[in-house]
Structure 1
Amino acid sequence: MSIIMNNFIKWNPIFPAPKDLYFVNLTDNGGAIDIHLAEMKDDRILILRFKGVMSYQVTDEGARSRSLYKDPSYRGLVVSDKSDYLNWFHRESQEMFLDWDLKHYSVGNINNIIDIISGDEVEVSWQAEV
Structure 2
Amino acid sequence: MDLPNNLFFYEMYFKKGKQVVLLKQSDLVDRCLKIEFNNPLAYRIVIESGRMKTLDNPSIYTFCKTDASKFLEWFDEESYGIFDDLLKYHYMVCTSDNIIDVITLQDPEVSWINL
Q: TM-score, normalization: structure 1?
A: 0.80
- Which of 76, 85, 93 in structure 2 is aligned with 1:107? 93
Aligned to 1:22: 8
Q: Which structure 1 residue ranges, 5 or more long, are not aligned?
A: 1-13
- 1:84 paired with 2:95, answer no
Distance 1:72 1:31, change over 3 A: farther
| SS of corresponding position for 2:71 | helix
Match of 1:63 among 40, 43, 50: 50
Question: Which residue is equivalent to 1:54?
Answer: 41
Q: Let me know the Cα RMSD of the aligned residues.
A: 1.5
Matched to 1:51, the amino acid is N
Q: Match of 2:12, as an amino acid?
A: L
Letter in 1 for 2:101: D
Q: Does 2:46 align with 1:34?
A: no
TM-score (norm 2): 0.89
Offset, 1:116: 0.2
Given the alignment, which residue of 103, 119, 123 partners 2:105?
119
Query: Structure 2, unaligned stretches of length 5 or more?
Result: none
Q: What code does the residue aligned with 1:104 have?
A: H
Q: Which residue type is aligned with residue 26 of structure 1?
A: M
Runs of 4+ in 1 over 3 A off after TM superposition: none
Structure 1 match to 2:61: 75
Count how many residue pairs are aligned between Structure 1 and Structure 2.
114
Q: Quick check: 1:128 aligned with 2:108?
A: no
